[in-house]
Amino acid sequence: MKAVFTDAALSDLDEILAYTATEYPLLGAPVEQRIRDVVARVETWPLSARLIEGPAGIHVVPLIRYPFKIFYRIERGQIEILHIHHTARRPWEG
């Protein structure tokens, strides 16, 4: 199943990559690669991540090594990446 990023998720990604490039230059590429790896895993096993409490059908998968979570849903035969959230921020409510 193919993953597509919403405009909000692309904005999150741009913000994350810009911040890491500025504040942690050595982590920019590894963070980006980890996000790509997690999205690829979700494309292969879309039902593997847990469902969140709240809005129906939204899954969340942590990046493990880095303090981010990816929120997505399965919509019309594709995976829709909704948001990439830093875990230190206020919880995302969808």
pLDDT digits (tens, 9 = 90+) for 39-66: 999 999 999 999 998 778 999 999 988 9
Task: Record the tokens describing residue 21, joined without a space.
Answer: 């490039």
- pLDDT tens-place string over residues 13-33: 999 999 988 998 998 899 999
Delimit the domains of the chain by residue range.
3-86
At residue 87, does pLDDT exceed 60? yes
pLDDT band at 94 (very low <50, low <70, confident <90, very high): low
Please count the other Cβ atoms lying within 10 Å of the Cβ belonging to residue 85: 20
The rounded distance, in Å, linking the Cα atoms of 15 and 43 is: 23
pLDDT of residue 86: 84
User: What is the architecture of the domain spanning 3-86?
Assistant: 2-Layer Sandwich (3.30)
Within 10 angstroms of residue 43's Cβ, the number of other Cβ atoms is 13
Q: Reply yes or no on whether the pLDDT at 91 is more than 60.
A: no
pLDDT band for position 71 (cuts 50, 70, 90): very high
Residues 6+ apart with CB under 8 A from 27: 20, 66
